[in-house]
Structure 1
Amino acid sequence: MSALLDAVREGRVRDVPGLVKPLDAAERKAELAELKALRTEVRSWGWDRWQGRIRTLDALIVAGAGCLTGAAATVAWITARDLRDGDRTPVGELVDLLAGREPGWLGDVAHRLAARASTAELDYPLIESLAGLARCAMPTTEPVVRGWVTAIGHRHALRHNLLGDRHTPVMVPRLFEAVATPVPLLWYDDPEDPGQWPQALVAVVEAGVVERPVMVTGCVERLLRTGRPGELKFFLSLLGALDLTEGERREHIADWIGMAADAASPVAGYAQGVLSELALSGALPHRALADMSASVLFRPEKKLVRAQLVLLGKVLRAEPGAAGDLLPVVAEAFGHEDTTVQERALKLVARHLSHVDPALYEELAKRAGLLSPVHRDLAVAAFGELSASAASGAYEEILPPVPTPVPMAPAPSDLAELVEDVTALITSGRGNVGNDWSPPLGTAEFERTLDGVVRHAHRDRTALAEGLRETVADIPPSRPVGGDGDARFRPTGFITVAAAVLGETPTGSPPSLEPSVERPACGHQALRNVLLARLREAAGRLARAEALPFLLATPTWVTGTLDTDVLVDRLAEYHRLGVDAGPLDFAQALIRLPRGADPAAARAAAALGTPEGDRLAAWLLGDGVTAGSVVGTRPPSDDQEPGGQEPGGHRAFPQPLAWLGRPKRDRWMPCYGHRVPEDALWMSVLPQDRDVLAGWLEAETRNALKEVARTAGAATWLLSAAERDGPAGPALHRALACALVVPRAEDRLAAVDALLVLAARGDLNGRSLGGELAGLLIEGQGKANRLTDSLRTAAATGAYRTVWSVLRAALPELLPPVTGAPRRPEAPGTRTAASPVAPSPVAAGSDAASPGGSARHGAIRPGLGELLAVAADCVERCRDGGVPPGLVEFAGRGGSSQAVRQAGRLLAALRTGGDHSTP
């Protein structure tokens, strides 16, 4: 063993340069082979040798770099992940050993190191040293810039380091070009502190190290690219510290306008301030001010909108001749969603109408038709008959089209196609229905594939088994489907069915192929248990080689619904072939039938003369069906086990479906972090009982309301429920109310879609939903601003009357009470004080007088003004009548709050509108 290899193995990194330098090319090549072998050996060293491992790796880096001759190979060795234990690099020893190489080679190595994104930041000291030895340009890749910032950024010496570092002139401009701002730049608490980055960079400019235009332009361009809040704050602080001159501000007028239009709120506010100063000094052209205003007036930040209107007013007072350029853009705010903005814009236009020509006057008058009716009197005063003639046409509610049922495609008739489908489900994990981590599986995939396996097994079991043999063999015992050895990921679902065709039971699956009766932990698991039980029942019959031509429960529609005549025909074929119906398969088929008595189909079923035909006939005549639902009619006591009976005490369902016969238990464990992958598949279990399903799945949405759910999608099932049949009862409206106020915007959007579909189908109960929403806000389980966002989104689609039907029911409980006023009567069956209270029945258009002067007013609920604004907007458009109880008293209480102003606007709209029926 050589002295060099001994030193490397022992980790004597300081000795390595002296041992490598005397070696010639042949000796270095020989040593390199030994070093590579040692490198492989070190990989196998255990953690008990971690200290020696670190020292040996450092020595390996130096020795290998010294023995290699090519620049690319040297860089690959230095940056190798297995050699960089702890990301350490022995910079001094490397520089000592490589210093004797050619300058061109050293520069090549430095630039190659700089191009390695994963290590360049840590290797900055080495890169700087090699570039210095090569006397070449310093690399300025983004990782190198970050390394420079870290190396130079000592707080108490930052200014001195920046002014004295030879790389500052090239590195500082790169700070503004980096995709991600180096983190140390953001570590400051006082932008006025000379020892922190903003003021230190200003000192660099003042000293002439970096030209001032480079710094100013860099800041402006970086703000235009937007970024994280901390990054934007830093560059705004730097601009403030630079104290821009008027010339510098004028030079970037187009940039300020772009920021005011599209940048984040703090940046837009800064740009608006700069442009305001330029406008008031006469340095901003009127057309540029108009372009800026057209964007700012429709930003969501009310502070920016108000400031812009104030600026326009100041400019118009100073230069009345600018009215021709500025008033048209002000008039665009007549269509703003905030009536306060509309009022400010109208008053501003009215003050300067004398400075416009007749053509512009007429154009402004036409735009006055966009104003809310609450401002119509003021508009008439300003424009006369021109604004009064801008009357809107008849209102038409716009709702999405009712979803058209999609028929279920038949099972694959081609054997190769079926085998391919089964294989795809098993290998992708989508067919592993029994765990939460499987990819989503659609109803059509599940039902068509399962029915296809049964049909082909009946037709030619040998051919099907041969086609599936390789698929089942590819699932080794050591690697269960869908997981990495965890027992929760045992093979379930379609692998069980496929193995049953071969007469086998796959490793890790339950020993029995009979339907499981395990107690579900939550509603989702209960629904999945039904799906798994159907798979196991089919697998059990296949394993026993029973004659089974097809399944009874395969739906005829993708929603999961099964047509009655189809089931009658299937039972007739079973009777002809002498096949016994699977208990669970037949029970699932019954539950999927459309609700309602069907005497003709009942007679056809009874004519079969079989027990299943008789039961189907009784079912179709209403036996066991209560209020259109098959489950959840009478809750058992807490200590009572489910009896597995249909409502009304008739024949028992199989055990997996008997769990569905019991209402959801609130004491179930919530599904924390559940990602809801199978909404449609769950819905297919009870396609005619969406309110019952809502009662089971409501916990998911309520968890999201409490911000318990860690993933999005807690409300996506609502749209599937809205598209299905069955009563839209209290549970569905309660879940919808929760979803409309959950924190996640994507879940609220899904709830809005469900609301609109329910309304389009005529299934939305505005009074019920409004009462639930009011209760959530009263209990503090939801925030009014989230509800406002949801309802405004729904109204913006054209469903103003639908949204008003909801708000009209919610407002009586959200308006603050007036002490001394007559107590509003409660409707029978309304909630207690701890629960949402349904609005009491009051005559439409009630304008009861407000209480006497001794009455006191309650506190205004946060966000009430925004809700009232949405309500007023809806009524002004749909012209629906019916004054909610308490609105007259609240609107008459006086004051300048937004809630009171919007209540007055709503009351005026209701009194001038018609009295139409709501959805």
Structure 2
Amino acid sequence: MSLSWETLEELAGRDNGAGVTALLLGATEAERLAFFKTVEAGIKGADPSDWWRAQIHPAGSYAIAVVGTAPTAQKAAALLTRRALRDHWRFMPLGFLTDVATAREVDWMGDLGHRLAQRLSTRNVWDSTEWEFAAAIIRAGGAEPPVIEGVVKGWLGRLIRPRGKRVPPLTMRMRDDPYLDLLLPSVFEFDGLGADIFNTAWGDGSDNPGTVTRFPGAVGALVAEGRLERKTVLAATIDRLARGDKPNALRPFVVLHEKLAPTVDEIAEYAPDHLRLLAEAPGPIAALAQSMLRALDDAGRLDVDTLLDVSAPVLVRKEKTLVKAQITWLEKVAKRDPSRVDDVYRTLAGAFGHPALDVQERALIMIAKQLAGLRADTVALIAGNSVLLAGDLTARAAELFGTTMAAAPEPVPLTALEVAPMPPPIASAAELAEEVVVLLHDQTGVRWERVLAAVVTLHAQGPRDEFAAALAPILQRHSGWFDTNQWNTGSPFHGLGTAIRMATDPPRHDTGHQQLHTSVRIAWQEGRRGGGNSKLAADPTGVLALRAAEIAVRINGSMMPMLVATPTRVNGSIDPAALLERLSRAEAEGWQPWSFDLEQALLRLPRTGVAAEVTAAAAELTSPAGRQFAQWLAAGGLPDPVSEPCAQVGERNDAGAYTWDVPVPRRMGARLTPARDGGLRLERQLLTHQPGRHPRWSPNEFDGVEAVLAMVVPHHREVAAAWALGDLGSFADQGQRGDGRLLPLLAECTGPVGPGMAYGLVYGFGAKHEPDRISAVDAFLTMAAGAEPFAAAVGSALADLCADGTVKLSRVTLGLTDAFRGGAATAVWELLTTALPPLLATKLRAVPDLLELASQVAVALDIRAEIPGLAEAAALPGTSRLAQESRRLLAILTGRP
């Protein structure tokens, strides 16, 4: 066979690596070198997606051709790292590649392997096939791999998680690995690599059922048998812990430290590192350091002054177990060395600054026991520190030290939020073009409203050629967003794009325009979005798409000078006086607002507080829109829908697990039902919502369009909350990330709080990710500054969701503590008095923390009250935290010491 591209293609199409090898080796070296240009052009012109769609992967045959014809390692690497071949490294016929290189007697295979290694991914340790390919080339060249992150990750991933047949245990594989001594030290050096160890160390299928062979255990075994030097591994382990990383990335090194079990001499050598870890490292690592230092202290080799210095930051750490252990340690030192008692208890007084009352109380009790034996200056210093105490401990400290109890600071009054006015309207076609581009990346409700208003206003003002010159290029550049296709038929971008085309250069026949016309007609005749011939979303965000479609359909039918639904406030609200002015203008100029534009405007009017003069002036309007406006105000606007809690219950499969379709045991939804049959055409579908029977996996219907959702009915926030409750629930029960954008937006709106808002806030407080929890706190503070009651409803939802572990009470308590410190003490107390009675009966581990918060709030507000079930919890025998915190709160609420 001749050495031609056609022959190579034919062999590659059959994945005939042996045939390609024979073809190349049958030619002379000069012929092979001359053929390289052909191979290079063919690979550069290939479409990688064609190879993936093929039933076989011809890339291996082309890789043989590269190695068999390339003049240098640089030329070969340039082709092998192109996407057409790089995506198929896992399928490479390594035997044929090395056979061709050996036959050619090339001396650059090691160099080629190094160049390939430089391109190894540093992100994905699960797939080590790229490393295997690069390593095979490196071995063929008789070289060693470069010590870089991609190589170390690939090597480690291949060791920990081997593919294919059963293999020996990890300890044996590491012992026999040729690169162990070269690459293992770097495992301790690259940040984040420990997370890959933790995530991939699942065992390899070669271990007995129920056991796993893990990396730390294997390294520890090799140290024990002398294959690895103990001093080197221990130093690298402690250095890795001291340099810090994310907790899951450090966990394997914590386990390795435990496996190595340092001796007292070794602990003493690395005492400075352990001291820093105790003060600064994440909780589990600090606990490890604490145990090491205690062993050193027990051996009499830790200086007391050093211990006292490190204790100061430890005593205010959030990990209570760690702090309590440090307190016990200090007490032991004081008993062991009476000459240092004053120094120890001065240090111990630092625990008064801990945020937890039980830690503060423990320190206070220990100091009280030794008070008589302390010097006067020590007592004075400790008494001064007692101002840091909280709750009932302030009064106890005042009695103990004979000081005057400082009056509890008045709770900071919250100021009701003033919702900002809308930005000024867009003034030119060029500005509109900029806003449309930004809208593609950030769909805020405010930006959508300004863009829609500007399309109508600027089109009416003209000239058309200026409008077209600014916007037509954007439609062409982002045609996937604005043209008619299967992905965007229900999107507001489709309506916006069609409206701009109709306003600039109306086509004779436009399928998208016809689709939008049908959707608008169905919405007008049936009050329906979605289903049948309507492509619009049935949820509230579909109202925006309907309004954009209405503009596209009507923009050339009448020269409408403006939209009447553009909000006057950034939360979507319209000032009734502003709408009166717009409709009065329409009546005077003889034009009628479009139907859905007017309905959206009415839905944005406040529920209450409409000035009498506005109502009177509206009654004098005679146009159809004016009369509808007047009737709307006279009737009190949109009636509140009925919102009811609705449990979505999971079902287990035959294996006893929850499935993709039913991912969690329980999630709360909210069922909406309209309060009346008549009303606006938009009304019924907006106010009708029936959650599904089962929870959905990671619902994200409103991801990125939270502001659009909130602005549809800004004075009935329960509607938006009910529709989005599935999204909010997944933040807590599935750990999804949403940055909690919706809750603060709804807090800026108004309306009664029903199960949608109440459960939504609790899900926000219990979210896995901190930004979502912070957003829930912000929303709570905003609502606490308002006049509408809400805290009791949130308390009932909290008790429901936390009682069975649907939401983690510990997370919620942290958020409520932040809300209390942020000034919402009254609202937090109202929530707690509703939530505590049912939660006390559960005896959950986190209930004492909630009781502790209640004690702090009760002292701040000087509350005297009765909480059902609290006396029974306080009467429990023993010294459990539940009993202790119940007694504390009961004493505060009854005014008894």
Q: TM-score range by the shorter chain?
A: 0.7 to 0.9
The CA deviation string for residues 166-211 of structure 1, in whole angstroms up to 9 with x for no partner, is: 6543333223224425757774889xx9997556545655676654
Match of 1:543 in 2: 556
1:555 corresponds to which of 567, 571, 575: 567
The answer as to 2:139 corresponding to 1:128 is yes
1:223 corresponds to which of 227, 241, 247: 241
Give the 3-state SS of the residue equivalent to 2:424 in structure 1: coil
Paired with 2:566 and 2:766, the residues of 1 have a C-alpha distance of 37
Paired with 1:261 and 1:519, the residues of 2 have a C-alpha distance of 62
Tell me the C-alpha RMSD between the 2 structures: 4.3
The answer as to 2:334 corresponding to 1:316 is yes
Match of 2:636 in 1: 625
Question: Offset at 1:480?
Answer: 5.8
1:587 corresponds to which of 599, 602, 623: 599
Question: Offset at 1:273?
Answer: 0.8
Question: Offset at 1:872?
Answer: 0.8
The CA deviation string for residues 677-710 of structure 1, in whole angstroms up to 9 with x for no partner, is: 2233233222233345445544554565664x95
Between the two proteins, the alignment pairs up a number of residues equal to 828
Give the 3-state SS of the residue equivalent to 2:849 in structure 1: helix
The CA deviation string for residues 823-848 of structure 1, in whole angstroms up to 9 with x for no partner, is: xxxxxxxxxxxxxxxxxxxxxxxxxx
Question: Offset at 1:104?
Answer: 8.1
What amino acid sits opposite 1:802 in the alignment?
A
The answer as to 2:736 corresponding to 1:723 is no
Paired with 2:96 and 2:466, the residues of 1 have a C-alpha distance of 69
2:283 corresponds to which of 265, 278, 282: 265
The answer as to 2:700 corresponding to 1:673 is yes
Structure 2 vs 1, CA of residues 377 and 536 (structure 1 numbering), >3 Å: closer, same or farther? closer
2:459 corresponds to which of 444, 457, 460: 457
- Preserved CA contact (<8 Å) 2:342 2:378: yes
Match of 2:871 in 1: 888
The CA deviation string for residues 114-152 of structure 1, in whole angstroms up to 9 with x for no partner, is: 3232444532233134245xxxx6532334445655777
What amino acid sits opposite 2:427 in the alignment?
S
- Preserved CA contact (<8 Å) 1:186 1:230: no
Give the 3-state SS of the residue equivalent to 1:756 in structure 2: helix
Paired with 1:403 and 1:699, the residues of 2 have a C-alpha distance of 27
The CA deviation string for residues 613-637 of structure 1, in whole angstroms up to 9 with x for no partner, is: 44444444xx2217xx5343799xx
- Preserved CA contact (<8 Å) 2:728 2:763: yes
Alignment of 1:174-213 (within 5 A): 174-179=186-191, 180-181=193-194, 183=197, 187=203, 198=216, 201=219, 205=223, 210-213=228-231
Q: TM-score, normalised by structure 2?
A: 0.80
Give the 3-state SS of the residue equivalent to 2:133 in structure 1: coil
What amino acid sits opposite 1:470 in the alignment?
A
What amino acid sits opposite 1:656 in the alignment?
L
The CA deviation string for residues 404-454 of structure 1, in whole angstroms up to 9 with x for no partner, is: 2322233223233234434654xx2xxxxxxxxxx5522322222222222
The answer as to 2:424 corresponding to 1:410 is yes
Paired with 2:287 and 2:643, the residues of 1 have a C-alpha distance of 60
Question: Offset at 1:274?
Answer: 0.4
The CA deviation string for residues 742-793 of structure 1, in whole angstroms up to 9 with x for no partner, is: 5555444322222111111233443343344334445765443343233222
Match of 1:240 in 2: 258
Match of 1:712 in 2: 738
- Preserved CA contact (<8 Å) 1:13 1:58: yes
Paired with 2:882 and 2:597, the residues of 1 have a C-alpha distance of 57
- Preserved CA contact (<8 Å) 2:710 2:746: yes
1:528 corresponds to which of 519, 532, 541: 541
Paired with 2:817 and 2:426, the residues of 1 have a C-alpha distance of 46
The answer as to 2:357 corresponding to 1:343 is no
Paired with 1:453 and 1:909, the residues of 2 have a C-alpha distance of 63
Question: Offset at 1:550?
Answer: 1.6
The answer as to 2:149 corresponding to 1:142 is yes
Give the 3-state SS of the residue equivalent to 1:551 in structure 2: coil
Match of 2:813 in 1: 788
Matched-pair identity in %: 28
The answer as to 2:127 corresponding to 1:116 is no
Paired with 2:429 and 2:582, the residues of 1 have a C-alpha distance of 22
What amino acid sits opposite 1:558 in the alignment?
V
Match of 1:839 in 2: none
Question: Offset at 1:73?
Answer: 1.7
Q: Which moved more, 1:9-18 or 1:336-345?
A: 9-18
- Preserved CA contact (<8 Å) 2:874 2:890: yes
The CA deviation string for residues 67-94 of structure 1, in whole angstroms up to 9 with x for no partner, is: 3332322333455553463524555555
Question: Offset at 1:23?
Answer: 7.2
Match of 1:905 in 2: 888
Question: Offset at 1:327?
Answer: 2.7
Alignment of 1:15-414 (within 5 A): 26-36=30-40, 39=43, 54=58, 57-58=59-60, 60-83=62-85, 85=88, 87-91=90-94, 94-95=97-98, 98=101, 105=108, 108-118=111-121, 119-132=130-143, 139-146=146-153, 156=168, 167-179=179-191, 180-181=193-194, 183=197, 187=203, 198=216, 201=219, 205=223, 210-226=228-244, 232-353=250-371, 357-372=375-390, 374-375=392-393, 379=397, 383-385=400-402, 388-389=403-404, 391-398=405-412, 400-414=414-428
Paired with 2:354 and 2:612, the residues of 1 have a C-alpha distance of 58
The CA deviation string for residues 352-409 of structure 1, in whole angstroms up to 9 with x for no partner, is: 556754333311111123334544676467x531xx32x2235322255432232223
- Preserved CA contact (<8 Å) 2:3 2:35: no
- Preserved CA contact (<8 Å) 1:734 1:769: yes
Give the 3-state SS of the residue equivalent to 1:527 in structure 2: coil
- Preserved CA contact (<8 Å) 1:770 1:810: yes
Paired with 1:860 and 1:792, the residues of 2 have a C-alpha distance of 20
Gaps of 5+ in 2: 122-129, 161-165, 645-672
Structure 2 vs 1, CA of residues 762 and 294 (structure 1 numbering), >3 Å: closer, same or farther? farther
User: Which is higher, the Rg of structure 1 or of structure 2?
Assistant: 1
Paired with 2:484 and 2:278, the residues of 1 have a C-alpha distance of 51
Match of 2:709 in 1: 682
The answer as to 2:612 corresponding to 1:599 is yes
Paired with 1:894 and 1:230, the residues of 2 have a C-alpha distance of 39
The CA deviation string for residues 28-81 of structure 1, in whole angstroms up to 9 with x for no partner, is: 422323544665798798789855x55xx5454345334333232233345555
The CA deviation string for residues 242-266 of structure 1, in whole angstroms up to 9 with x for no partner, is: 3323222122222212322343433
2:786 corresponds to which of 761, 764, 776: 761
Paired with 1:384 and 1:634, the residues of 2 have a C-alpha distance of 55
Structure 2 vs 1, CA of residues 882 and 480 (structure 1 numbering), >3 Å: closer, same or farther? same
Q: Which moved more, 1:214-223 or 1:680-689?
A: 680-689
Structure 2 vs 1, CA of residues 286 and 165 (structure 1 numbering), >3 Å: closer, same or farther? same
Structure 2 vs 1, CA of residues 19 and 282 (structure 1 numbering), >3 Å: closer, same or farther? same
Alignment of 1:496-895 (within 5 A): 496-502=498-504, 503-504=506-507, 506-509=510-513, 510-512=515-517, 514=520, 516-517=522-523, 519=528, 525-544=538-557, 546-594=558-606, 595-596=608-609, 598-620=611-633, 623-625=634-636, 629-632=638-641, 653-660=679-686, 662=687, 664-665=689-690, 672-698=699-725, 700-701=727-728, 707=734, 712=738, 716-728=741-753, 732-733=757-758, 735-741=760-766, 745-777=770-802, 781-816=806-841, 860-895=843-878
Question: Offset at 1:487?
Answer: 5.5
Question: Offset at 1:588?
Answer: 2.9
What amino acid sits opposite 2:456 in the alignment?
V
Q: TM-score, normalised by structure 1?
A: 0.78
Q: Which moved more, 1:108-117 or 1:754-763?
A: 108-117
The CA deviation string for residues 846-865 of structure 1, in whole angstroms up to 9 with x for no partner, is: xxxxxxxxxxxxx6355332
Structure 2 vs 1, CA of residues 22 and 354 (structure 1 numbering), >3 Å: closer, same or farther? farther
- Preserved CA contact (<8 Å) 2:145 2:151: no
Paired with 2:232 and 2:813, the residues of 1 have a C-alpha distance of 46
